[in-house]
Amino acid sequence: MFETAEVGATMSDAAFTKVRGRLRLKLVELQQQLRAADFPTIIILEGVQGAGVVDTLNLLNTWMDPRWIATTVFDDPSDEERERPLFWRYWRSLPPAGTIGLYLGAWYTDPIASHARGKMSRAAFDYCLLRIKGFEHTLAEEGALILKFWLHLSEKDQKQQIQSNRKDPLVGLRASDTSWTTPTNYAAYTNAASYALRNSMDGKTPWFIVEGSDDNSRRASVLTILAEHLEKHLAARRKLAKTKRKADKKRSNEKSLVQDKRRLEAPVRRVLDALDMTASMSDRAYAKAFHDQQLRLHELQKQARQRGLSTVVALEGWDAAGKGGAIRRLTFAMTARDYRIVPIAAPTDEERAHHYLWRFWRHLGRAGRMTIFDRSWYGRVLVERVENLIDEDAWMRGYAEINDFEQQLAEYGSVVVKMWLHISKKEQLRRFKDRSTVAHKKWKLTEDDWRNREKWDQYEDAINDMVSRTSTTAAPWHLIPANDKRFARVTVLKTVADSVEKALLTSRRKP
Amino acid sequence: MFETAEVGATMSDAAFTKVRGRLRLKLVELQQQLRAADFPTIIILEGVQGAGVVDTLNLLNTWMDPRWIATTVFDDPSDEERERPLFWRYWRSLPPAGTIGLYLGAWYTDPIASHARGKMSRAAFDYCLLRIKGFEHTLAEEGALILKFWLHLSEKDQKQQIQSNRKDPLVGLRASDTSWTTPTNYAAYTNAASYALRNSMDGKTPWFIVEGSDDNSRRASVLTILAEHLEKHLAARRKLAKTKRKADKKRSNEKSLVQDKRRLEAPVRRVLDALDMTASMSDRAYAKAFHDQQLRLHELQKQARQRGLSTVVALEGWDAAGKGGAIRRLTFAMTARDYRIVPIAAPTDEERAHHYLWRFWRHLGRAGRMTIFDRSWYGRVLVERVENLIDEDAWMRGYAEINDFEQQLAEYGSVVVKMWLHISKKEQLRRFKDRSTVAHKKWKLTEDDWRNREKWDQYEDAINDMVSRTSTTAAPWHLIPANDKRFARVTVLKTVADSVEKALLTSRRKP
């Protein structure tokens, strides 16, 4: 696949000077437009040694406003990085909307080099590429512009280039800056790269293969491609926003029709309807079970901490289902250093400027800790879906994105515990009334709660879809009848304890 | 100092029930008010084992809206934390404005326990307390409400408490949760604590010593103190904001008078006037010096990386002084993994919700890396001062805060290089005109630049004060004549190389 980049492309100084000014101006203008856009641009520069990766990086940094472009080179992972799934470090590096993230090698460097040096099997290499593809796809679907450049040299040109670089010690220093990669045998390296490139392209995450032997030609190519695609993407996103506004209007009119229609249909039996809502517990049984489960969880978490086994708990449920109370009981006998509660409220603007999963990746705890999300990434397919905050495409692909996220957690060895606290509509009303009359509970009840309640049926549909699409072996859903608070609290405790225990028994992993 | 907390304070259940409802309601209301406030609340809970620290933590978490309160317990530092000055982990943990940060032991735990166990000398203990005091003072001066609670038990009561806790295995588990501290000999521990408390109080960062033996009494005390001080602080900050608005108006009227007056005075000779602005370099001399310094810096940074020696560069200068160009030359021959450029633009809302130094702490690089700030924390005493964005008190204490920040960097072993690129007013005009005529440079010139230029004299005053107040042995200012770009670029290179070299020669530290 590199044949097109071994044709000896050149460009005279005169020709380059001619396009140079226009290109530079264009890029500066586009960067200004990007500032106001709702997506980030990710540029990946990778290639064979001597092909001008660092030169391209420097050129982009010279031409553009440094405030809105950031360069990332991945270094040896820190222990904070090693104590989370591999992609944590990539997520944390992502540029916010309106800016450009410039990567040397990015997530390609390690797998290509390792495979080329025979230190990574084809199966492991394939798996890496699959993950990378999923990652880039997730970002691109949310609007990110991803442009990947492979700067190429034939083996012969590379030899010449390296020799001529040696003559100038300074250029030599730069050309030999392969700190983001590991030089290796040319054929093995380019073979591995070719395989990686082939298997990590799709319509939205293309690779551009650019011949690197001639400075002018290489620079003009990269900059032209960048300018063209950035311009096109800006236009496409603007158009999309416009279409979306129109569609939203239209849909909100249609919606009322659909809702009316649904009410006429015979009631559907959904997964929550199968729960035994009479489940309850006497005070005495509760006292004993609570006590037993606390001791058990205390011991299990102690072991998990020693073993470096992390747990990620996502607690969801109806408004007033008792999530807060359940979490406080869950952490009652745990050591304060071992857990962290992450309440999910409105995102900050830094969070808003990233993919919606970014804020959850951000909060994952280190090895051996339990991270408890009070509401979670499932907001995407619950409130955001029901309230029409995003369009159907977005929440529909949300299931796959969430499965991918949880799979990464599970494959890293983390325990994933997802629970839905279910109360009946009648019980919710009782609790709302209680909240509205007891002075110190009033803050717990908001207009939103009443509004959500009106959409109970739509939420039931969303919950049904959520369970059917995201309950997996590695990360199953636990639906917990919660009309009786005692029963719900003990069940939450027991569910978490069971999950941790199972993982301790089956995993031997010590990260 | 703990006598007042060994008097056997008790409160009947009836009495507690009476205040409980009122207190709870009050706290919920205050938390709502806090949401809109411009400061964070930091609550530190510390005390002897068995005195109810965890119980108090749980109570606060139960009563308050979990979305705006976060608990922090410091765990063993990660390598990312160890590769930065000690307080990096504390800065990164701070709650944003409008929220409550609840700390178990916080920054007191380690020093008190270490000193009590004889593992930290009095001198080192004093030094820790000095740093802590400075840290809290810095936060409090910026408006943070800091409330520190020491929950106490006499030795006798502690023994009883621990025995009675043992009877109930669950309460025992919780009461024995001393994961944030290290239990030790009672007398040694309380002596060390007493010393720490005495030496870490001031008007704005008080300690409250509360007797912990009786649950009702302890809870009522802590909650009452919290409610009272939060209410008072909210009122004080509101009043302050009002006064400030008035003062701002008044001052802006006066300002014009002062400015007029200044113009009538004889010109003052300031530090920048002493620079030799004719300093320049021929093309040939530049080529050689550039080349030599690049090779030198390349080698030095390689060694610094191996030795784990971090460098923090702050580059300041007039608009159009050539900061961007100088930085690109500075990084020309460095390995991409070894440096990171941090351009300082407008803060994000997460940054705005913290102390102004938070965003700089946040970006400090790991061991062995160079972090290059394109504009820096000196904005506080330059633009923010000159543009009246903050009042005089704020920028006046900025010098001390900055010195303290840089001292922490230097003491950790980092190299701190601060440079001001100086151009003459005439040269600036020439460059502005150039920028306004060359199409691809137009983005570099903004309205702000012209506005800043009008305040040249005020900036010169601010620069003079900045140098006189913050040029220290560990972090000296380098004022660089930059009318000639070649001279300036080589001098920046040489200044950084000299500083790194000196540190490599004098330090043997490998963090």
pLDDT above 90 covers a percentage of chain B that reads 68
Instruction: Report, as an integer, the average pLDDT of B251-279.
Output: 69
CB contact under 8 A, A443 and B179: no
CB contact under 8 A, B180 and A336: yes
ipTM of the prediction:
0.82
Please, which pLDDT band fits residue B259 given cuts at 50, 70 and 90? low
Residue with tokens 């460097």: A109
Q: How far apart are the first and last CA of chain A?
A: 39
Please, which pLDDT band fits residue B178 given cuts at 50, 70 and 90? low
Using alpha carbons, list the distances in angstroms from residue B267 to A325, A430, B262, B385, B423: 69, 77, 9, 21, 18
pLDDT at B330 over 90: yes
Residues A393-415 have pLDDT tens digits of 899 889 989 999 999 999 999 99
Question: A336 to chain B: which residues are within 8 Å by CB?
Answer: 54, 57, 71, 73, 104, 177, 179-180
Cα–Cα distance for residue pair A326/A420, rounded to 1 Å: 11
Enter the DSSP assignment of A388.
T
- Residue A30 pLDDT: 96
Q: In DSSP terms, which residues pair with B477 in a beta bridge?
A: B418
CB contact under 8 A, B348 and A345: no
CB contact under 8 A, A170 and B80: no
Q: How far is A4 from chain B (nearest CA, A)?
A: 29
Q: In DSSP terms, which residues pair with B151 in a beta bridge?
A: B47, B210
CB within 8 Å of chain A, chain B residues 291-350: 291, 294-295, 298, 324, 327-328, 332-333, 335-338, 340-341, 343, 345, 348-350
pLDDT at B257 over 70: no
Q: Does residue B24 belong to the interface with chain A, where contact is any CB pair within 8 Å?
A: yes
Mean confidence (pLDDT) of chain A: 89
Q: Does residue B439 belong to the interface with chain A, where contact is any CB pair within 8 Å?
A: yes
CB contact under 8 A, B337 and A180: yes
Question: B54 to chain A: which residues are within 8 Å by CB?
Answer: 336
Task: State the best of B22, B63, B67 to mutate against chain A, taking most chain A CBs within 10 Å.
Answer: B67
Q: What is the CA radius of gyration of chain A?
A: 27
Q: Which residues contact B452 (CB under 8 A, 6 or more apart)?
A: B319, B383, B386, B459
Cα–Cα distance for residue pair B510/A87, rounded to 1 Å: 29
Facing A298 at nearest CB: one of B65, B173, B291 = B173
Task: State the best of B72, B337, B371, B437 to mutate against chain A, taking most chain A CBs within 10 Å.
Answer: B337
Cα–Cα distance for residue pair B54/A161, rounded to 1 Å: 66
Enter the DSSP assignment of B420.
E
Q: Does residue A32 belong to the interface with chain B, where contact is any CB pair within 8 Å?
A: yes
pLDDT at B459 over 60: yes
Instruction: Report, as an integer, the average pLDDT of B148-167.
Output: 86
Residues A216-268 have pLDDT tens digits of 999 999 999 999 999 999 999 999 999 888 877 776 666 555 554 454 455 66
CB contact under 8 A, A295 and B170: yes
pLDDT at A511 over 50: no
Compute CA A419 distance to the chain's CA centroid, rounded to the nearest angstrom: 21
pLDDT at B261 over 80: no
pLDDT at A171 over 80: no
Q: How far is A256 from chain B (nearest CA, A)?
A: 33
Residue with tokens 């949880």: A406
> In terms of residues, how long is chain B?
511
Residues B300-316 have pLDDT tens digits of 999 999 999 999 999 99
Facing B333 at nearest CB: one of A67, A170, A337 = A170
CB-count exposure of residue B252 (10 Å: 0-12, 13-18, 19+): exposed
pLDDT at B297 over 90: yes
Please, which pLDDT band fits residue A31 given cuts at 50, 70 and 90? very high
CB contact under 8 A, B294 and A170: yes
- Residue A49 pLDDT: 85
Instruction: Tell me which chain B residue has its CA closest to the CA of residue A331.
Output: B58
- Residue A202 pLDDT: 79
pLDDT above 90 covers a percentage of chain A that reads 68
pLDDT at A426 over 90: yes
Instruction: Report, as an integer, the average pLDDT of B13-40.
Output: 93
Interface A–B counts its CB contacts (< 8 A) at: 136
pLDDT at A114 over 60: yes
Instruction: Tell me which chain A residue has its CA closest to the CA of residue B367.
Output: A78
Q: How far is A254 from chain B (nearest CA, A)?
A: 36
Question: A177 to chain B: which residues are within 8 Å by CB?
Answer: 335-336
pLDDT at A154 over 60: yes
Residues B344-391 have pLDDT tens digits of 988 999 999 999 999 999 999 999 999 999 999 999 999 999 999 998
Pair B422, B321: CB distance under 8 Å: yes
CB within 8 Å of chain A, chain B residues 42-101: 54, 57-58, 61-63, 65-68, 70-71, 73, 75, 78-80, 83
For A326, the token pair is: 């359940």
Question: B337 to chain A: which residues are within 8 Å by CB?
Answer: 73, 75, 179-180
Neighbouring C-beta atoms of residue A447, cutoff 10 Å:
7
Instruction: Tell me which chain A residue has its CA closest to the CA of residue B291.
Output: A170
- Residue B173 pLDDT: 65
Choice between A250 and A345, residue whose per-residue pLDDT is larger: A345
Facing A180 at nearest CB: one of B57, B65, B336 = B336
- Residue B267 pLDDT: 61
Question: A294 to chain B: which residues are within 8 Å by CB?
Answer: 170, 173
pLDDT above 70 covers a percentage of chain B that reads 93
Q: How far is B328 from chain A (nearest CA, A)?
A: 7
Question: A32 to chain B: which residues are within 8 Å by CB?
Answer: 443
For B342, the token pair is: 């941090």
Q: How far is B197 from chain A (nearest CA, A)?
A: 23
Pair A224, A149: CB distance under 8 Å: no
Say which range, A1-15, A58-72, B144-158, has the weakest mean pLDDT. Answer: A1-15
What strands lie across the sheet with B69-72, from one edge to the other? Answer: B69-72, B100-104, B41-47, B145-152, B207-211
Q: How far is A258 from chain B (nearest CA, A)?
A: 35
Say which range, A89-103, A307-321, B51-65, has the weakest mean pLDDT. Answer: B51-65
Q: How far is B407 from chain A (nearest CA, A)?
A: 26
Instruction: Tell me which chain A residue has its CA closest to the CA of residue B366.
Output: A78
CB contact under 8 A, A179 and B58: no
Facing B328 at nearest CB: one of A61, A104, A341 = A61
Cα–Cα distance for residue pair B299/B318, rounded to 1 Å: 31
Please, which pLDDT band fits residue B511 given cuts at 50, 70 and 90? very low
Pair B366, A78: CB distance under 8 Å: yes
pLDDT at A276 over 50: yes
Question: A305 to chain B: which residues are within 8 Å by CB?
Answer: none
Question: A70 to chain B: which residues are within 8 Å by CB?
Answer: 341
Per residue in B25-58, is it b (16+ CB within 10 Å) or e — as a string? bbbbbbbeebeebebbbbbbbbbbbbbbbbbbbb
CB contact under 8 A, A65 and B439: no
- Residue A168 pLDDT: 73
Among candidates A384, A386, A367, A368, which has minimal Cα distance to A376? Answer: A384
CB contact under 8 A, B336 and A75: no
- Residue A164 pLDDT: 79
Q: Does residue A443 belong to the interface with chain B, where contact is any CB pair within 8 Å?
A: yes
What strands lie across the sheet with B311-317, from one edge to the other? Answer: B339-343, B370-374, B311-317, B415-422, B477-481
CB contact under 8 A, A173 and B75: no
